[in-house]
Amino acid sequence: MNPYLVFVIAALVAGYLLELVLALVGLRTLTPDIPAEFSDVLDAEEYGRSQEYIRATTRLSLVQETLVLPLTLIFILAGGFNSVDSLVRSAGLSSIPTGLLFTGLLALLYFFIQLPFSLYSTFILEERFGLNQTTPRTFILDLCKTLLLTVLLGGPLLAGVLWFFEYAGELAWLYSWLTIVLFALFVQLVAPVLILPLFNRFTPLADGELKEAIIRYARQQNFPIRGISTMDGSRRSSRANAFFTGLGRLRRIVLYDTLLAAMNTRETVAILAHEMGHFKKRHIRKMMLISWAQSGMMLYLLSFFLHNPGLSAAFSMQHVSTYAGLVFFAFLYSPISLILSLLGNSLSRRYEYEADRFAVSSSGLAESLITALKKLCRRNLANLTPHPLQVSIHYSHPPVLERIRAIRAYAAVKEN
């Protein structure tokens, strides 16, 4: 049996079993007892609803994984990739347009497999728990806009990568990596102006106590901002959030309207202080550099497998091609991706603690940050007691109870 095929099947099955174990241990950690820290913001009915939400989303994820795995295996073993390749080759186009069609059709197929689960999650599950605000019209428009952006932005990027690996020789991976890095910077630069407004409406924050408090805090921290905006996040969900967008002096503060409805001034400033901590501690820059390094490593490894006949044979391909090799390499890379995500999530959780400490030391709003975290968890039906294995593998943020304990401990040290 083809060793590449054995590896791919083993990786797919192992990934499914890992998710199954994570789901089961996660469900076992759910308890009807409200954590003492949250007894002031949650009653038994609210906490029970959050627990049921976690069970429902876990069950949906398991059903999805259980259906997608056999479909993927059948598609591989039945020569589905070769059938798609034969179809696009029949158009008689050159290799790069053929590669775009090949990956586009596979992406479209994956989209239609995932669509029923997305519809169920949005309009049935999220609706049932009072989280969904998305209308069918908004859902359809979002899909169309996402497809358009994928074609307009992702298409040329993929074409460039394919061209380099077709014609640039041994350094193709390096040229591709530099292109991807420049593309990422370009997207970050234009996103606040051209991309985000396609999906949401942004309006300047009204004059008043909150705006004055934010500007005062930003000035104290010598943190230049171009504007403070509110975003109509309530168009899609009742969840609350805030973030910074833009690069350099083009940075903007964006507040969800749901956040403004849930938080008082001190709590909102405390949340922004946490986000500012990520900038001040250069977490975003560091994570970006790490991401770029990982991309470079992936492309370098890709260069060794891209035209491998054995890898193509594992997927029953009649022809060896650059575009198919790129897709097949993704299957080989998945275990490495998992290991890197473990390291990345661990670093991200450490950065969250650092940002919390910055917020406490710079604003003095430790208790306001704690109450804000509690309100966010309550509003978002967050899991307050995730299993440690779930945290280590999937969580980019520490569990909220651990964050609260760390904030209180740090605040006590600062007072003494």
Active site residues: 275
3-state secondary structure of 59: helix
* β strands within 214-357, DSSP E: 227-231, 242-245, 252-256
Nearest residue to 295 (alpha-carbon basis) of 175, 416, 155 = 175
Instruction: Report H helices in 126-239.
Output: 126-128, 136-149, 155-167, 172-190, 196-199, 209-220
Give the HSE-up count for residue 413: Cα atoms under 13 Å, Cβ half-sphere. 9
Q: Which residue in 167, 160, 164, 4 sits closest to 81, CA to CA?
A: 4
| 3-class state of residue 66 by DSSP | helix
CB atoms within 10 A of CB 73: 14
The CA distance from 7 to 249, in Å, is 48
First to last CA, the chain: 67
DSSP structure class, residue 256: E
Query: Which phi and psi (to 5°) does residue 245 adopt?
Result: -140, 155
